[in-house]
Amino acid sequence: MGVISLAGAERTRVTRRFMAIVPLRYLFAGIVAGALAVAGCSSGAGGTGGMGGTGSTGSHSHGGSAKVALTFQVKGDAASHGTSKTLTCDPAGGSQPAAATACTVLLKLKHPFAPIAKEMNCPMLLLSNKKILVTGTWFGVRVHRLVVDGGCDIALFNSLNKIGLTS
């Protein structure tokens, strides 16, 4: 019987010690999970993971080709009838009127054609039925993005409107 009571006492001591460690383990796991969540949110909010910068470094240029070469096709506008305009930056050119001014406006934007983050909540608001299909390259990264006049694209659509794409 003495052995059984020692085993019971040892088991009680181990159980108490284990119970003291378990909450610390959960606290540590919660802190780690919280830190990872914050790190994931901060990296998704500002960056795009490879969309190239808007700086003037020559690391993405390929010989004599332009750093930015885009085609804009406006849809839903009765005046444009789906016409396309091209724009190249650095050097400025293309069929877009005032290409140098358009490049200045576009190059001030930070990652303008990056995909919208999945965790982003966008308003279900369309200001018009106009859409701009943007294709081409942006600092060596291929672009294929449909920009609508509403939702999370309102600011980008207004910036593209400033360079005369929809007017």
Instruction: Tell me what pLDDT residue 36 has.
Output: 56
Instruction: Tell me what pLDDT residue 110 has.
Output: 84
Report how far residue 132's alpha carbon sits from residue 147's, in angstroms, rounded to the nearest whole number.
Answer: 5
Instruction: Tell me what pLDDT residue 145 has.
Output: 92
Instruction: Tell me what pLDDT residue 167 has.
Output: 59
Please state the pTM of the whole predicted model: 0.56
Instruction: Tell me what pLDDT residue 79 has.
Output: 60
Instruction: Tell me what pLDDT residue 22 has.
Output: 56
Both tokens of residue 39?
A: 């790190």
In our burial notation (b when 16+ CB lie closer than 10 A, e otherwise), range 73-97 reads bbeebeebeeeebebbbbebebebe
Per DSSP, the residues of 92-121 read TBSSSSSHHHHHHHHHTSSSTTSPPPTT--
For residue 28, give the H/E element and its range.
Answer: helix 2-46
- For residue 95, what are the CA distances in angstroms to 57, 79, 91? 25, 17, 13
Instruction: Tell me what pLDDT residue 29 has.
Output: 67
Instruction: Tell me what pLDDT residue 31 has.
Output: 72
Q: Does domain 58-162 have CATH number 3.30.350?
A: yes
Strand partners, 18: none
**N- to C-terminal Cα distance for the chain?**
95
Q: What is the mean pLDDT of each run of 10 residues along the chain (167 residues)?
A: 56 60 63 58 38 37 69 76 83 88 88 85 85 91 91 88 76
Strand partners, 68: 89, 138
Which parts of the chain are beta strand (E)?
Answer: 68-75, 84-89, 126-138, 141-150
